[in-house]
Amino acid sequence: MSIGRKTVAVLMAVAATAVVVVASPTPASALPSNCGVYAHPTGQADGRMARCTRGTGEYRLRLRCNEGAIYDLPDYWVYGPWKSPSATSFSAASCFTGRTSGFYRGASVGLR
């Protein structure tokens, strides 16, 4: 059984197209950078804010909170809104505990 010239030509064209698609570079992307976390007290709450000024994508504040050792409760997470990097935008969140013993245990910046 022989394969015709047209069939071979079609198979070669498909294989060449697959190589081009696999080898094509993807657009460059960079996660947000030049990020920092800063104190941002809000009334009765212990808050923080995050700001990223470079890159693309989005970032948000991740705040780890606790009600205090007296209550022996587990930590919980509070998140700020997703933001695009900018010198004028920030993502903020607070540990709204309603108790004077509530506090934040840590903060970090989430990137996507």
Q: Where are the domains of the chain?
A: 33-111
Cα pseudo-dihedral 90, 91, 92, 93, rounded to 10: -170
DSSP of 35-49: EEEEE--BTTBEEEE
The whole-angstrom separation of Cα 77 and Cα 97 is 12
Helix (H, G, I), strand (E, B) or coil at 110: strand
What is this structure's pTM?
Answer: 0.67
Banded pLDDT at 100 (limits 50, 70, 90): low
Per-residue pLDDT tens over the stretch 60-97: 999 998 877 666 778 889 999 999 999 999 999 988 76
Side-chain half-sphere CA neighbours of 90 within 13 A: 14
